[in-house]
Amino acid sequence: MDVVDIDAAFERFEETWSPRLAASLNGQELKVAKLEGAFVWHSHPDADELFWVIEGDLTIELREEPDRHLSAGQLGVVPAGVEHRPVADGLAKVVLFEPAGTENTGDAEGTGRTREVESLED
């Protein structure tokens, strides 16, 4: 059994909006990411996406619903197909949980923001 220290995981990288793979299970991936500023509007047509804020504050802007604000210790799930845009006012440390292979930019094309998920070991 692998053990992951989430606090230590965040210390292993500096880049924002560049998720790192912390664990895999049952076709799902748990990723850690540092977020700052606004990301791109996108959706994941076939995948729910969980955002769990470890440190900082995160707003999930939604096209069809009121924005959702998450503070440290809170999580929220964006259902599959819902267009959203994460916005961090300051640095936020976030855990993401989603199906393996889910691109960070979902269905948004040509944004230049798509990143391959790197292992924490890289």
82 vs 45: CA distance, rounded Å: 8
| Whether the predicted pLDDT of 122 surpasses 70 | no
What phi and psi, each to the nearest 5 degrees, are found at residue 86?
-75, 140
pLDDT for position 115 = 80
State both tokens at 54.
């470890």
The pLDDT tens digits for 45-95 are 999 999 999 999 999 999 999 999 999 999 999 999 999 999 999 999 999
The pLDDT tens digits for 15-45 are 999 999 999 999 999 999 999 999 999 999 9
- Indicate yes or no: pTM above 0.95: no
CATH number at residue 27: 2.60.120.10
Q: Is 122 inside any structural domain? A: no
Q: Which residues pair with 75 in a beta bridge?
A: 52
Q: Is 113 inside any structural domain? A: no
97 vs 30: CA distance, rounded Å: 5
Task: Domain of residue 98: give its range.
Answer: 6-102
Q: Is 110 inside any structural domain? A: no
